[in-house]
Structures are given as C-alpha cells and as structure tokens.
C-alpha cells in the first residue's frame, strides 16, 4: 500500500464525461489498496473565462478580487469530483486550499506557500477517505484568499506530497509524459523516460507548460518522487528525479518556448552610472521580473537599452518607466509591435560542449529568421524571435540537435484550452 498524490489538470476534467473518467481512475487506485490525495484544477477553460469576465468589467481588476474570483473555479471542480466518486460507492471529501492547510504570503496572483498544516488531510486519510484538494489556492495569516499563479495546481500537488510524505506525486495531464519539446508543436517530439530536476526546472522556467517551475523546485528540495503521465491512457510516464539517466552523448535534451514575452526599449538615456540601477530598481519594486537586458551603442553621451519582461506585465512596466521620466531624461520608449517568442535549448551536457550556441544561431539563420535578443547560461541558450516562425524554428532545431523520434506522437486528447 502506498500514499499517492494524484493531480489532474484542467483539460483532464474539462467535461462531465472526463470528470467521471478521472473519478474512475482514482477509484481504481483506491481499490488497489492505496491511499489517495487528489489535487484538481478548474474545469477546462474556466480560469480563462473568469479572467475574461472580469476584464470586461474592469481593465485592471483589483488583484484581491481576482483571487476571490479565480479560486471559485477549483472549488467547483473539487466538489464535482467528490460527488462523482461517491457515485462509484467510495467515500471522498473535498477541501478548499485553506481547509487543507495552505498558508501563503500576501502576494495576490502569485503567492508563495509558507507552510501546510496538513492535519485535516491526514485525519481524513486515516478515516479511509479519498481526499480532494483544490489546486492553486491558499490563505494568508490575515485570512485573505490567494492564488499561486497560473498553472499553480502542480505546485499544490507537489507541496502537499512533500508535507504528507507521499510515496509518489503523479501529475496527470493531456500528454503522456515530458517530451523533448511540446508534442503539439513538433509531432516527432521524443518522450523522455526520465529527466533531472535541474533540466526540468530550466525547461519549466523557459515556458514548458507541462510542469509549473515552482512545483519542480519543491520536488527537488524535498526529493519528491514526481511522475508526469496521461489521464487518458495507462502509458508509463516520465520520472523527474535527481540523477536521471539520459541517453549517451546527448547535448541538448529539450526545447522550450515562451510566448509571454514583451521587449521594451529605452532610447537616448544619459550614459551615466546608476541609470540601469534606477530603471531596474523601480521595476523590481513593482514586482516586475525582467529577463534579458541588452545595452546597445553609446553615442554622444547617450545610450539605448532593451529588456524583455512578461507580456502580461508590459503595461505596468511602461507605466513605471513613464513615472521615472521626471528624474531620468530619456528620448523615447518603444515596445515590440509584432508578437515575439523566446525559444530555448536546454541540456546539462552543454557545459562541456562548446559551440552549441553557435549551432543554434546557424540553424535559425539558415531558415532566414532574425534573432532579436540572446541570453545564455551553463545549461541553456535562448533566442527571442518573431512568433510567426515559431513552429519552423523549433522543428529545425529539434532535427539539427538529433532529437527527432522515429514515430510521430499521438497526443492523448483534444486540447480544449489555449
């Protein structure tokens, strides 16, 4: 008998039939004699729909009220799933994040978990219940409802698995594991049997939606046995672990992309010490993350620089820079008018293989795509390009770095989100 945390994403519970299917999957595990704690996301597009509804009422809805609104999506799912399980003759109990003991800090919209007081969950397990916990939510010490950021139900699952010392944390989704790249973009993506926490962390940070980066961080720090698998079939999934066995000679193990990218340029700032500190200090004060920063030529005592930030933070970033204008003279601020995407290659093997970045640039330039910005680290190279050539660029890179599988992937279920 083992203790499982099973997490089901939005597309796995998008309809009543899928909800029933998931309920049967859980009951199957319970009938094998295991203890089950289940984490569920909001059904299908619910979170996106709730955001749209709020935006129709207010361009910048208050973050507190957004958390109040979005947590209802998960609350609906847990209750429905519990109701479905009862229909199959099993005892189940649903909890909101706060009932399950998730305490977070006060950052509405992307709160961090401070601790989990899991007594209630453990008691219900002792009472032979299937415990169903709402993903992506918690409560502050002051009793305010918070959410953990988009895709945060993965983090709920892994953090709960660590808190209750589960034997395994299974992330059930609409693909049957972690692939060398998004199998919806490249049909000959290769399924990985195993991947290291570090490589997965990098891929997740760089946009691979299959796991939320904080979930991978949690798993690494708490050594949680984490597996990603399909809710539509029983195929072996992908294990995320400390020492993953990768294929011999593999330099690049995965390719990720992130469409949530905006480039902002500040033109004609005085070439003086302290300018970068002023701009990026002001952005940091507003909790705006900056990714790539490039300073270009200095002429007549003036410099230009560009940086990337999340597209969803662009308006706020522009407002921050506008406010600085009285103390920081600059000539102009511009932002990209065509959609951009950041494409990244990742691989622990890169450290010992020079020339990987050069090869990436060559592959991209050969198909006539221009690279707008670049950033590198020991295990990744990222290039910002125009979004309309994304599929072609990823496919070329996938082939050139020897990642193509022999057979095309059959993706487990229709994608009704995004």
Reduced to 3 states (helix: H, G, I; strand: E, B; else coil), residue 227 is strand
Return the number of other C-beta atoms located less than 10 Å from residue 301's C-beta. Answer: 9
Q: Which of positions 248-287 make contact with ligand ADP (CB under 6 A)?
A: 254
Burial-class residue 319 by CB neighbours within 10 Å (0-12, 13-18, 19+): exposed
Task: Say whether residue 179 binds ligand ADP (CB under 6 A).
Answer: yes
Q: Which stretch binds ligand ADP (CB under 6 A): 69-77, 177-185, 290-298, 366-374?
A: 177-185
Closest CB to ligand ADP among 151 and 275?
151
Q: Which residue, 178 or 384, is less far from Mg ion as judged by CB? A: 178
Q: How far is the CB of 115 from ligand ASP (least distance, A)?
A: 20
Encoding tokens for residue 256? Answer: 């990720």
CB of 383 to ligand ASP, least distance (A): 27
CB of 255 to ligand ADP, least distance (A): 8
Q: Residue 108 to residues 153, 158, 268, 297, 310: CA-CA distances in angstroms?
A: 15, 20, 36, 39, 17
Quick one: how many helices (H) and strands (E) in the chain? 11, 20
Among 47, 147, 155, 181, binds ligand ADP (CB under 6 A): 181
Residue 6 interacts with ligand ADP (CB under 6 A): yes or no: no
Convert residues 137-176 into a mask of x (bound to ligand ASP by CB under 6 A) and - (unbound): -------------xxxx-----------------------
Residue nearest to Mg ion (CB): 151
Identify which range of 8-16, 86-94, 305-313, 381-389 contacts Mg ion by CB under 5 A.
8-16
Which 3 state secondary structure label does DSSP give 215? helix
Residue 210 within binding range of ligand ADP, rule CB under 6 A: yes
Does residue 152 touch Mg ion according to CB under 5 A?
no
Q: Which does 179 bind (CB under 5 to 8 A by kind): ligand ADP, ligand ASP, Mg ion, none?
A: ligand ADP
Provide, rounded to whole angstroms, the least separation between the CB of residue 47 and ligand ASP.
3
Q: How far apart are CA 13 and CA 20, in angstroms?
A: 8
* Nearest distance from C-beta of residue 141 to ligand ADP, angstroms: 29
Q: Of these partners, Mg ion, ligand ASP, ligand ADP, none, which one is at the site of residue 210 (CB under 5 to 8 Å by kind)?
A: ligand ADP
Stated as kind and residue range, the H or E segment containing 396 is helix 390-400
Q: Which residues pair with 25 in a beta bridge?
A: none
Beta strand segments in 251-369, E: 254-258, 262-270, 290-299, 302-309, 332-335, 340-346
Q: How far is the CB of 211 from ligand ADP (least distance, A)?
A: 8
Closest CB to ligand ADP among residues 38, 208: 208
Rounded Cα gap, residues 41 and 153, in angstroms: 6
Q: Does 9 sit near Mg ion (CB under 5 A)?
A: yes
Q: Is 322 helix (H, G, I), strand (E, B) or coil?
A: helix
Residue 159, classed as helix, strand or coil, is helix
Q: Which of 14, 44, 97, 135 binds ligand ASP (CB under 6 A)?
A: 135
The nearest distance, CB 215 to ligand ASP, in angstroms, is 9
Q: Angle at which helices 275-285 and 314-324 pack, to 10 degrees?
A: 130
Judge whether 106 and 114 are in contact, CB under 8 Å: no
Q: Which of 175, 261, 283, 383 binds ligand ADP (CB under 6 A)?
A: 175
Choosing from 14, 44, 73, 138, the residue that interacts with ligand ASP (CB under 6 A) is 73
Give dist(CA 322, CA 117) in Å, integer.
44
Nearest to 310 by CA among 281, 340, 330, 275: 340
CB–CB of 385/372 below 8 Å? Answer: yes
- Looking only at residues 144 through 173 of this chain, which bind ligand ADP when binding is defined by CB under 6 A? 151, 173
For the sheet with 290-299, list strands across it.
290-299, 302-309, 262-270, 332-335
Counting contacts by CB under 6 A, is residue 206 touching ligand ADP? no
Q: Give 214-217 contacts, CB < 8 A, sequence gap 24+.
A: 214/112, 214/148, 214/149, 214/152, 214/154, 214/155, 215/154, 215/155, 215/157, 215/158, 215/159, 215/171, 216/158, 216/240
x/- letters, 27..46, toward ligand ADP (CB under 6 A):
--------------x-----
Residue nearer to ligand ASP on the CB measure, 76 or 294: 76
Which two three-digit tokens encode residue 10?
């939005």
> Residues 42, 266, 360, 385: which binds ligand ASP (CB under 6 A)?
42
By the criterion CB under 6 A, which residues form the site for ligand ASP? 9-10, 41-42, 47, 73, 135-136, 150-153
By the criterion CB under 5 A, which residues form the site for Mg ion? 9, 151
By the criterion CB under 6 A, which residues form the site for ligand ADP? 9-12, 41, 151, 173-175, 178-179, 181-184, 208-210, 254, 415, 417
């Amino acid at each position: 008998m083992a203790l499982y945390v099973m997490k089901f994403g939005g597309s796995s519970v998008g309809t009543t039939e899928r909800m029933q299917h998931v309920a049967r999957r859980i009951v199957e595990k319970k009938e094998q004699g295991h203890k089950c704690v289940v984490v569920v996301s909001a059904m299908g597009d619910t979170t996106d729909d709730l955001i749209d509804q709020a935006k129709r009422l207010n361009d910048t809805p208050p973050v507190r009220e957004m958390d109040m609104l979005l947590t209802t999506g998960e609350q609906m799912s847990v209750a429905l799933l519990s109701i479905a399980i009862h229909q199959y003759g099993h005892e189940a109990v649903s909890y909101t994040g706060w009932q399950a003991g998730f305490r977070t800090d006060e950052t509405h919209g992307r709160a961090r978990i401070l601790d989990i007081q899991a007594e209630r969950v453990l008691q219900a397990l002792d009472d032979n219940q299937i415990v169903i916990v709402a993903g992506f939510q918690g409560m502050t010490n002051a009793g305010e409802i918070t959410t953990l950021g988009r895709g945060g139900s993965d983090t709920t699952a892994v953090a709960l698995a660590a808190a209750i010392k589960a034997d395994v944390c299974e992330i059930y989704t609409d693909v049957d594991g972690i692939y060398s790249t998004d199998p919806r973009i490249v049909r000959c993506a290769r399924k990985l049997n195993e991947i290291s926490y570090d490589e997965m962390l990098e891929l997740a940070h760089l946009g691979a939606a299959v796991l939320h980066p904080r979930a991978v961080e949690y798993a690494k720090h708490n050594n949680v046995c984490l597996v990603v698998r399909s809710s539509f079939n029983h195929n072996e999934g992908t294990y995320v672990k400390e020492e993953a066995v990768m294929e011999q000679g593999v330099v690049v193990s995965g390719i990720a992309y992130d469409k949530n990218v905006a480039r902002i340029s500040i033109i004609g700032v005085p070439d003086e010490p302290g300018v970068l500190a002023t701009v990026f200090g002001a952005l940091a004060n507003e909790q705006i993350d900056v990714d790539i920063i490039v300073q270009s030529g200095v002429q007549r005592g003036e410099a230009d620089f560009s940086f990337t930030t999340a597209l969803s933070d662009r308006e706020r970033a522009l407002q921050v820079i506008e406010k600085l204008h009285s103390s920081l003279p600059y000539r102009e601020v511009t932002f990209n008018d065509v959609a951009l995407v950041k494409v990244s290659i990742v691989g622990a093997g890169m450290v010992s293989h020079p020339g990987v970045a050069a090869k990436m640039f060559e592959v991209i330039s050969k198909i006539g795509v221009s690279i707008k910005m670049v950033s590198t680290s020991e295990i990744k190279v990222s290039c910002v390009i125009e979004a309309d050539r994304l599929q072609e660029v990823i496919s070329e890179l996938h082939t050139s770095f020897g990642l193509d599988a022999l057979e095309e992937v059959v993706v487990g279920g229709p994608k009704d989100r995004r």
